[in-house]
């Protein structure tokens, strides 16, 4: 599981039940569960593993102060995660959970959450993402 916490170490989002498949390009499948204030939402997401690999690398660069922002935006945009460096080691985290409905017109609903963390939360997040991706690499071999 991959946990996203706010600055008070309250869990905001969990990515769970990872599975991997290799139909052409390696894919990662998981559930994103959000619990924030009175709102709770869950989405099943399937995306290319390469986007997670890029996000993991950029989180390390963000932690080292080499870049100012990173994002994870799966191809179908059902989940969007943004990390933006602020002053004094603070990081603004933005999470969007989207729902699209294609009927006669494209309808969209979105749960948008913004909160701050400090840089000390990144090593644990990097470790959790790395563990999931390493497990997936072993499965795909």
pLDDT tens-digit readout, 10-63: 999 999 999 998 877 889 999 999 998 888 888 899 888 999 999 999 999 999
- Secondary structure element (H or E) that encloses residue 7, with its range: none
pLDDT tens-digit readout, 97-124: 887 766 665 667 788 999 999 899 999 9
What percentage of residues in the chain have a pLDDT greater than 70? 89
- Say what the pTM is: 0.86
**Which residue carries 């009927």 as its tokens?**
103
Domains observed in the chain: 2-140 (2.30.31)
Neighbours of 133 (CB within 10 A): 19
Which DSSP category does 68 fall into? Answer: S
Reference 113, options 98, 125, 126; nearest CA is 98
């Amino acid at each position: 599981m991959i946990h996203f916490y706010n600055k008070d170490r309250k869990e905001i989002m969990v990515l769970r039940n990872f599975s991997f498949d290799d139909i052409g390009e390696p894919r990662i499948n998981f559930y994103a569960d959000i619990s924030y204030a009175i709102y709770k939402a869950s989405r099943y997401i399937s995306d290319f593993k390469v986007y997670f690999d890029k996000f993991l690398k950029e989180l390390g660069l963000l932690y080292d102060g080499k870049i100012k922002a990173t994002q994870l935006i799966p191809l179908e945009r059902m989940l969007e995660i943004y990390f933006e460096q602020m002053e004094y080691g603070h990081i603004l985290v933005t999470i969007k959970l989207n729902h699209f409905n294609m009927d006669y017109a494209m309808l969209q609903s979105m749960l948008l959450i913004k909160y701050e963390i400090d840089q000390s939360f990144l090593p644990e997040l990097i470790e959790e993402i790395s563990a999931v991706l390493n497990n997936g690499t072993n499965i795909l071999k």
